[in-house]
């Protein structure tokens, strides 16, 4: 039972991060109809930016800021690449474009950054500095920071979407783009705002990965992207509450599989679970009938 | 007589033409189906295991691998057929992940190091070239046929096509099965040519090559892969070895530039029609 609780705790922590990834990717999907396959690569590149900034300055706060700025800028830079294709409704091409961007970023990291070797963050940063152990259950400060940051960011996003003028504009674009256009909502600005928000979320995600994992490799980006995809598909494409549910479900499945299965079956079983959900309910747990693509 | 190097290069180009066509075929019906990649791995492993470990005759392993990949694709198609383009793309990429993880964990398939010492198949190059020729003829005919137009209609609007009597799900199942078997063919050619296969051989790198070939070549006609596969495989041959590691960056950059400047690719329907008209004019003048 103790082991089960320990796995649950780990699942909630990783689920919080997956939920954030899913929310960021879903935000881009509902507002700009883009499935951002380079999302994970941007998260990992921001981890590299943080690592280099810390190495150069020795300051954690400057390094964290660098990661968030790097993620926001990179996400914003992808937007103009997709604009023409989106306007011509070439959805397959937008997907392929983001896959190409992701693969370029992965290879740039593999070739140019730290000679392609994994990066490791200082030990006093990973884990958050202190921990409390109850038998098999170990709760670190990083676990608490991660859950608090995720929940805080989610609540902040909900407040932004429900209470602010720009947030309401984003919701209008997501709900009915034609009506939003007729009402005079600037679609271009809305799309850029969605990319900026997704960029900020990917920046924060990179910090949470630093706190919990403490290492990064160029190939990590692919995995992060597919966790995000799995979360989107499980929860329902375009559904923010679905992303939260999907994120926690994926986190729990992964930690339970890691705990109870021998061998490296985590990815296969997590992806298999996603496939079962899609087969049983093609629109995901909270998906709407709105078909993307 | 070709040198071993030239033969290998031709076989690799052949494998990627077939793989690209396997990706192109479902795209005709608006499906971003990445199944050819995992089907190639499944067929390659099947052929390797049956011929090396079980001692099957090589031709039996060759055709068995293709049939196995086609069957798996057929079985999965029942679940995948109703999915939208985005869902299909994500689920089939997830399947690449699942099969790679499975291969890594199965010791009888060599685990992470894979299998080597796979017996070779005689006349592999002529078989590959013949396969490319047959697929070219079939896909060219499909491109101009009633089926081809029905596929195009499904790509433009799935719901309207279904309302007009096109059995969209059945069409998707057929496309996935044929595409999977084509991927399987590419996989067995690869395995018998190199004599080795490992879990990372058919992954995202290969998906990028296929996308580059299909999208830069032009995804609306079958002729794009025939042009782009040789070009993309021959250009890096002239790269100095020092910059060979930039191959994926180069391919990715080509996709981005191509999608920005020529979203429909190099060989579009208009280009094909123009070439056909010119050929007809030449034939008329000779007559």
pLDDT tens string B176-192: 999 999 999 999 999 99
Mean pLDDT of B207-231: 90
Question: Above 90 in pLDDT, residue A272?
Answer: no
In this complex, do A233 and B90 lie within 8 Å of one another by their Cβ atoms? yes
CB distance B79–A97 less than 8 Å? Answer: no
Q: Kindly state the tokens that stand for A123.
A: 């030990």
Using DSSP's 3-state secondary structure scheme, residue B33 falls into coil
User: What is the radius of gyration, based on Cα positions, of chain A?
Assistant: 19
Q: Which of B175, B178, B40 is nearest to B96 (CA)?
A: B40
Q: Which of residues 188-227 of B touch A (CB under 8 A)?
A: 204-205, 207-208, 211, 215, 219
Do the Cβ atoms of A226 and B255 come within 8 Å?
Answer: no
Nearest Cβ partner for B253 among A92, A104, A230: A104
Higher pLDDT, B139 or B89: B139
Lowest mean pLDDT among A34-48, A58-72, A135-149, B31-45: A135-149
Q: Cα separation of B78 and A102, whole Å?
A: 31
Please report, for residues A98, A107, A158, A220, A276, the alpha-carbon distance to residue A103 in angstroms, rounded to integers and kept in the order given: 9, 6, 32, 12, 28
Question: Is B252 in contact with A101 (Cβ distance < 8 A)?
Answer: yes
**Which of B84, B90, B243 best tests the A interface by mutation, with the highest count of A CBs <10 A?**
B90
A222 contacts on B by Cβ (under 8 Å): 204
Mean pLDDT, rounded, for A26-40: 91
CA–CA separation, A14 and A249 (whole Å): 10
Residue B253: predicted pLDDT: 92
B-chain residues near A103 (CB < 8 A): 204-205, 208, 248, 251-252
- Distance CA(B284)–CA(B277), nearest Å, equals 10
Q: How far apart are the first and last CA of chain B?
A: 38
Residues 6+ apart with CB under 8 A from A61: none
> Would you state the structure tokens that stand for residue A277, as one six-digit string?
């959900």
User: Contact B42/B67 with Cβ under 8 angstroms?
Assistant: no
Question: Domain boundaries in chain B?
Answer: 4-202
Condensed to tens digits (0 to 9), the pLDDT of residues A91-124 reads 889 988 998 999 899 999 999 999 889 999 988 7
| pLDDT reading at B25 higher than 90 | yes
Sequence-distant (6+) residues with CB within 8 A of B82 are A282, B169, B172
Tell me what pLDDT residue A288 has: 60
Instruction: Name which of A38, A97, A292 to mutate to probe chain B: the one with the most chain B Cβ atoms within 10 A of its Cβ.
Output: A97
Q: How far is B4 from chain A (nearest CA, A)?
A: 30
Calculate the CA A249 to chain-centre distance: 15
Alpha helices in B107-198 (DSSP H): 124-144, 146-156, 158-163, 168-194
Give the count of beta carbons closer than 10 Å to the beta carbon of residue A218.
24
Q: Is residue B244 predicted with pLDDT exceeding 80?
A: no
Does this model's pTM top 0.95? no
């Amino acid at each position: 039972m103790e082991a089960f609780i320990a796995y649950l705790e780990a699942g909630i922590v990783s689920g919080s991060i997956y939920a954030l990834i899913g929310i960021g990717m879903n935000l881009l999907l509902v507002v700009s109809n883009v499935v951002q396959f380079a999302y994970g690569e941007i998260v990992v590149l921001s981890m590299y930016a943080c690592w280099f900034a810390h190495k150069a300055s020795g300051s954690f706060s400057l390094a964290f800021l660098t990661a968030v700025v790097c993620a926001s800028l990179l996400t914003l830079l992808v937007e103009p690449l997709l604009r023409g294709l989106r306007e011509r409704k070439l959805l397959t091409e937008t997907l392929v474009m983001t896959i190409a961007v992701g693969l370029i970023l992965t290879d740039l990291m593999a070739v140019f950054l730290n000679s392609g070797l994994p990066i490791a963050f200082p030990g006093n940063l990973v884990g958050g500095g202190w921990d409390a152990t109850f038998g098999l259950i170990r709760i670190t400060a990083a676990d608490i920071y991660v859950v608090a940051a995720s929940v805080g960011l989610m609540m902040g996003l909900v407040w932004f979407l429900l209470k602010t003028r720009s947030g309401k504009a984003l919701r209008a674009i997501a709900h009915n783009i034609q009506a939003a256009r007729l009402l005079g909502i600037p679609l271009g600005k809305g799309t850029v705002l969605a990319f900026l928000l997704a960029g900020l979320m990917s920046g924060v995600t990179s910090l949470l990965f630093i706190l919990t994992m403490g290492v990064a490799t160029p190939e990590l980006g692919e995995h992060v992207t597919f966790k995000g995809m799995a979360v989107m598909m499980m929860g329902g494409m375009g559904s923010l509450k679905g992303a939260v549910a999907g994120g926690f479900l994926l986190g729990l499945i992964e930690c339970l599989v890691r705990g109870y299965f021998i061998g490296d079956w985590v990815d296969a079983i997590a992806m298999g679970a996603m496939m079962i959900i899609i087969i049983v309910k093609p629109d995901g747990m909270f998906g709407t009938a709105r078909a993307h693509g | 007589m070709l040198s071993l190097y030239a033969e290998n290069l031709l076989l690799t180009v052949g494998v990627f033409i077939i793989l690209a066509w396997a990706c192109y075929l479902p795209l005709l019906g608006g499906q971003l189906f990445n199944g050819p990649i995992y089907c190639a791995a499944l067929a390659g492993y099947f052929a390797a295991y049956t011929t090396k470990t079980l001692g099957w005759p090589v031709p039996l392993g060759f055709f068995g691998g293709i049939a196995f990949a086609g069957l798996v694709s057929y079985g999965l198609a029942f679940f995948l057929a109703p999915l939208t383009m985005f869902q299909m793309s994500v689920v089939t990429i997830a399947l690449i992940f699942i099969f790679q993880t499975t291969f890594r964990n199965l010791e009888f398939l060599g685990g992470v190091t894979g299998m080597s010492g796979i017996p070779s198949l005689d006349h592999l190059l002529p078989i590959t070239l013949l396969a490319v020729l047959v697929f070219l003829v079939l896909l060219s005919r499909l491109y101009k046929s009633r089926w081809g137009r029905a596929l195009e209609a499904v790509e433009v609007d799935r719901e309207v096509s279904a309302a007009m009597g096109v059995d969209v799900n059945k069409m998707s199942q057929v496309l996935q099965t044929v595409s999977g078997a084509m991927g399987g063919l590419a996989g067995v050619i690869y395995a018998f040519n190199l004599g080795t296969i490992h879990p990372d051989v058919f992954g995202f790198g290969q998906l990028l090559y296929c996308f580059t070939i299909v999208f830069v070549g032009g995804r609306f006609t079958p002729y794009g892969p025939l042009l782009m596969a040789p070009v993309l495989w021959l250009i890096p041959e002239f790269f100095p070895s020092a910059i060979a590691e930039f191959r994926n960056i180069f391919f990715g950059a080509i996709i981005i530039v191509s999608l920005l400047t020529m979203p429909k690719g190099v060989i579009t329907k208009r280009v094909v029609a123009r070439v056909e008209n010119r050929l007809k004019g030449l034939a008329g003048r000779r007559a």
